Structure 1
Amino acid sequence: MDKYLFVYGTLRAGEIRHGLIQHCEFLGLAYAEGYDLYLIYKFPGMVPGSGRVVGEVYRVSEKALQALDWIEGVPNLYRRELIKVKLATGEELETYTYIYNGSVEGFKKIPSGDWKEV
């Protein structure tokens, strides 16, 4: 059964790791409320907060998710969680995403919540 994945950083279209999901069906732009985005060295990390994070939603297989878990460093660097996002169409969707698993202390917050604006 297919699942949904909200991506907000290097997996987004045009970014360095997008090739890993380019075969997956793009469902649209979306945002996640109640999260903040930080620049962790040279990549973004989303954590629970009070902002909004901008990203994209894809339909992915369980096999693709398992491969991405390894690439994203689950469970050490990131953890995969189910969250609610809102598509640009206004539709709400429950999707998986990768939450940064470390401390963001000392890292720069991305005020816009959009990795493409860094």
Structure 2
Amino acid sequence: MALVWVYGTLRRGEGNHGLLTDCAYLGQWWSPPCFYLLDLGEYPGVITGQQAVLGEIYVVDEPTLARLDRLEEVPVEYDHGRLRTPWGEALYYHYRGPTRGLAAIASGDWRARYVC
């Protein structure tokens, strides 16, 4: 079992959340200000920066983690990062693709990406 912090389309109510419906949801949590949340179009990515990002923490088993890794194209488009959370150390998906010309989502919340 592993903890996973998700910040985009895997969150509740988002398009890929179905991969986590059988996993224990621990809660919503803002990261420390150590990221930039990038708008990649249909989904976001985080890179190292100075922004807090809103996400959710789940307990996942190995088969679920393997499915998430396939979705996130590990290790091509994303790789695993580790982050201390109130529930313990969690994995997250760190974007490793090109960033030139991409905008950060100022709110730090994928769901609020269109809010000015």
TM-score w.r.t. length of structure 1: 0.90
For residues 26-47 of structure 1, the C-alpha deviation after alignment (integer angstroms, 9 at most, x for no partner) is 0000122211101012210111
Look up the equivalent residue of 2:25 and give its one-letter code: F
CA distance, structure 2, for counterparts of residue 25 and residue 10 of structure 1: 17
Residue of 97, 100, 115 corresponding to 2:110: 115
Q: What is the aligned partner in structure 1 of residue 79 from structure 2?
A: 79
Q: For structure 1, which runs of at least 5 residues remain unmatched after alignment?
A: 86-90
The residue number in structure 1 matching 2:7 is 8
Q: Are 1:94 and 2:89 counterparts?
A: yes
| Contact preservation (8 Å) 2:19, 2:67 | no
Q: Distance in 1 between matches of 2:88 and 2:107?
A: 22
What is the CA–CA distance in structure 2 between the aligned matches of 1:19 and 1:92, rounded to whole Å?
A: 22
* Richer in strand (by share): 1
Tell me how far 1:103 sits from its aligned partner. Answer: 2.4
Give the aligned length.
112
Q: Distance in 2 between matches of 1:93 and 1:54?
A: 17
1:13-92 matched pairs, under 5 angstroms: 13-33=12-32, 34-85=34-85, 91=86
4+ runs deviating over 2 angstroms: none
Q: Deviations over 1:15-62 (max 9, x none)?
A: 000001111000000122211101012210111101101000000012
The unaligned stretches of length 5 or more in structure 2 are none
Structure 2 distance, partners of 1:50, 1:22, is 31
Contact 2:30 2:53 in 1 (8 A): yes
**CA RMSD across the alignment:** 1.1
